[in-house]
C-alpha cells in the first residue's frame, strides 16, 4: 500500500501485513503525532476563541467607558466654559473684588485694600454673585481660582 497522506497511514496501520515492523512503528508515530497536533490545534483554537471573546468584551467595555468619559468631560468643559465666560461680564472693579474674595478677605479688608466703603463692597459682591450665578462668596472664590485670577 502506498502512503500518500495521514489517512492512508492510518489505513496502513490497520493492515500491518502490508508494511514492515519498522514502517509500522514510523506510521504509528506519524499518526500519533498528527492526532496530537490536531488535538493541540483544537485546544489552541478554543483558547484563541476564548481570548478573542475576552478581548472583544474588554474592548466593548473600554469603548463604553471612553464614550462616558467623553460625554462627562465634554459636559464639564462646557459647564466650566460657561462659568468662566460670565467673568467677562464683570467690571474691572468687580474683578478686583473677586480676587480679594479669592484671597479670603472680609468685606472690611476688601474695603480697606481697594479704598472703598463696606457698603460699596457689599454692592460689588452682590453683583458678582448675580453675574456669576454663584450662591455664596466661597463659590465665587472658587470660580476665581478656576479662572486663574489672583495668582
- Degrees to nearest 5, angle at CA 118 with 111 and 149: 45
44-48, 111-115, 138-142: range with lowest mean pLDDT:
44-48
Average pLDDT value over all residues in the chain: 77
73 with 94, same domain: the answer is: no
pLDDT at 128: 94
Name the residue with higher pLDDT: 95 or 45: 95
pLDDT of residue 133: 87
96 and 142 co-located in one domain: yes
In a domain, 1, yes or no: no
In the predicted structure, residue 131 carries a pLDDT above the cut 60: yes
Say if residue 80 is in the same domain as residue 139: no
Calculate mean pLDDT across residues 92-109.
Answer: 93
Whether residues 45 and 115 share a domain: the answer is: no
Residues 53 and 116 in one domain: no
Residues 110 and 57 in one domain: no
The band of 15, judged by pLDDT with boundaries at 50, 70 and 90, is: low
Is 124 within 8 Å of 100 (Cβ atoms)?
no
Distances (CA, A) of 19 to 29, 35, 146: 14, 21, 89
Task: Verify that 79 and 112 share a domain, yes or no.
Answer: no
Cell numbers given for 19? 508494511
Helix spans in 86-132 (H):
92-102, 107-114, 118-132
Is residue 40 over pLDDT 70? Answer: no
Which of 20-29, 36-45, 47-56, 141-150 is the most confident on average? Answer: 141-150
Q: In this predicted structure, what is the pLDDT of residue 112?
A: 95
Query: Which residues 6+ apart lie within 8 Å of 71 measured at CB?
Result: none
Q: In angstroms, rounded to a whole number, what is the distance separating the alpha carbons of residues 58 and 55?
A: 5
Same domain flag for 80 and 101 = no
Residues 80 and 10 in one domain: yes
Is residue 130's pLDDT more than 90?
yes
Which residues form the domain of 111?
90-147
Q: How far apart are the first and last CA of the chain?
A: 94
pLDDT at 34 > cutoff 80? no
Asked if residue 12 and residue 52 are part of one domain, the reply reads: yes
What is the number of domains present in the chain?
2
Residue 65 is inside which H or E element, if any? helix 21-85
- Report yes or no on 123 lying in a domain: yes
Same domain? For 77 and 16 the reply is yes
What is the pLDDT, as a whole number, of residue 44? 66
Specify the pLDDT at position 57: 78
Amino acid at each position: 500500500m502506498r502512503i500518500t497522506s495521514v489517512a492512508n497511514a492510518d489505513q496502513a496501520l490497520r493492515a500491518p501485513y502490508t508494511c514492515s515492523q519498522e514502517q509500522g512503528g514510523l506510521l504509528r508515530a506519524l499518526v500519533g503525532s498528527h492526532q496530537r497536533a490536531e488535538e493541540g490545534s483544537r485546544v489552541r483554537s478554543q483558547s484563541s476563541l476564548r481570548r478573542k471573546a475576552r478581548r472583544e468584551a474588554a474592548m466593548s467595555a473600554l469603548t463604553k467607558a471612553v464614550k462616558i468619559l467623553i460625554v462627562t468631560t465634554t459636559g464639564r468643559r462646557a459647564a466650566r466654559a460657561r462659568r468662566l465666560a460670565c467673568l467677562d461680564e464683570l467690571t474691572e472693579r468687580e474683578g478686583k473684588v473677586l480676587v480679594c474674595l479669592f484671597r479670603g478677605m472680609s468685606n472690611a479688608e476688601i474695603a480697606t485694600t481697594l479704598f472703598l466703603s463696606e457698603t460699596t463692597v457689599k454692592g460689588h459682591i452682590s453683583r458678582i454673585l448675580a453675574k456669576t450665578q454663584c450662591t455664596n462668596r466661597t463659590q465665587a472664590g472658587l470660580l476665581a481660582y478656576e479662572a486663574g485670577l489672583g495668582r
